[in-house]
Amino acid sequence: MVRAPAGGPPGTRPGRRRIEAARHVLARRPGTVLLLAAVAMLLLTWVPACLRLGMVDLRVYRTAAPHLLSGDLYAFRLNLPGPDLFPLPFTYPPFAALLFLPLSWVPWPPASAAWTAASMLALCVLVHCCLRMADPAAPAARHRRRVLLWSAALLWTEPVAVTLALGQINLLLAAGVAFAVRRRSAATAGLGIGLAAGVKLVPAVTGLYFLVHRRWSAAWWSAAAGAATVAAGWWAAPRPAADFWLHAVGDAARVGPVGSVLNQSVRGALSRTLGHDAGWSAPWWACAVPAALLALTAVVRCARRTDPLGCLLAVQLLGLLLSPISWCHHWVWAVAAVLWLTHTPHRTRSRTAALTAWALALAGYLVHWLALAQPDIWQFGRPWYLAALGWGYPVCAVLTLVALLLPAAGKASGGPPASRHPRASSSASVSPMP
């Protein structure tokens, strides 16, 4: 009897054997795959940050927080070398500075390492929550393997990698939001969203998720928690709080150049197309109103067909599109988009188109290459082809909203996507984590 060679049957091509071997490793050693990916990313982000200027946003958090007590928090600037860089201000509410104060007491190497590790863990939590919402009846072993492998892969997508390189807080907030909305307790869910909005205002849009699911108590708890964060910041530092809430909060240009390709909001993309800051002009309204209607309709449709992940995704895309500033690293919710498009049953052409667009933008580091091509961050005008490519993330978001809006192939528009699972029910959006 002739024994088949290791790695496949006789006649199997070497390339095919290597693919099968890779699949075997991915299936049997998902934890090892994630560990190797995490260590590699940690070395690529943390070591350079210790040797030279890096993780600049985390440096702003650490350096600016003590200025809350001296009263000049919003006059603070972190000056960076280079002609294309601008002094970085502290852009979050005073409550965030209160939370960041302990960072200033820890030496930079351990603080930056711990922050990076916590952000990677947050990615795993975000993936876990999204997959549980997408497929609540998945067996524990399969779910665990999916979480580990997806986390290892999504670690290298542009918004996630840039978040880690800058030391941004986006992954921590996104994981907190996804964790909170799945709580059965209205108080726990609302407090989680309110605190996230107290750190950075954009998560406040998640209150819409509670409203469309008629979780009135959770919505009230989130509003109360958000108001408490405002009061805490005002109590701790009245003058900086007045500076922020009465002046800085509405000044988008203070955050950075609105027309930079790093800003992937509708306002940013439109400003690059027009050659000047679109502001709240008629062209902006002409783009923003249809996008908002599309997103709101998708939110309602997903809620009616018991699609919690789709509903949460539509809410977050609404906030990213309409926010004056949505830097590319704010788009970590693309993680949820990829997972929804991949794990929702009955693939359609609209979903395939959206998933393909996200794959090209995220894995191709679209914004990075466009940033290299822009003359400088202050010049808004672009050649037509660069201006068109600068709509990359908004176009991906619109394609995803269209996919969310359309019914799955072979299903009625009102049918729940999880009905094929006996254990799936309308409470999946608020079920406790296993």
Residue ranges of domains in the chain: 31-249, 251-417
pLDDT at 80: 76
Can you read off the two tokens belonging to residue 142?
């399969």
pLDDT of residue 251: 77
pLDDT score, position 316: 97
- Average the pLDDT over each of 59-73, 174-188, 250-264, 416-430 and give the range with the smallest value: 416-430
Query: Tokens standing for 130?
Result: 């999204």
Task: Give the pLDDT score at 414.
Answer: 41
* CB-based burial, 178-216: b 16+ in 10 Å, e otherwise: bbbbbbeebeebbbbbbbbbbbbbbbbbbbbbbebbebe
Q: How would residue 417 be classed by pLDDT, with cut points 50, 70 and 90?
A: very low
Q: How far apart are CA 372 and CA 248, in angstroms?
A: 30
Q: Give the mean model confidence (pLDDT) for residues 111-119.
A: 94
Q: Is 49 exposed, middle or buried (0-12, 13-18, 19+ CB in 10 A)?
A: buried
pLDDT of 5 over the 60 cut:
no
Taking the C-alpha atoms of residue 72 and residue 161, their distance in angstroms, rounded to an integer, is 32
pLDDT for 11: 55
Task: Calculate what percentage of the chain has a pLDDT beyond 70.
Answer: 86
Tokens 């605190």: give the residue. Answer: 195
Residue 278: exposure state from Cβ atoms within 10 A (0-12, 13-18, ≥19):
buried
What's 53's DSSP letter? S
Residue 15 has a pLDDT of 62
Confidence bin at 4 (pLDDT 50/70/90): very low
* Beta bridge pairs of residue 263: 327
pLDDT at 9: 53
What the block records as the tokens of 355 is: 């998933």
For residue 253, pLDDT over 80 is answered with no
Q: Which residues face 88 on adjacent strands?
A: 78
Among 300, 303, 365, smallest CA distance to 156 is for: 365
pLDDT at 427 over 60: no
Distance CA 217, CA 184 (A): 11
Residue 135's identity, in one-letter code, is D
Q: What is the pLDDT of residue 426?
A: 38
What pLDDT does residue 53 have?
Answer: 79
- Amino acid at position 31, single letter: G
Q: What is the mean pLDDT of the chain?
A: 86
Question: What pLDDT is stored for residue 220 in this prediction?
Answer: 97
Query: Worst-scoring range by mean pLDDT, 47-56, 146-155, 334-343?
Result: 47-56
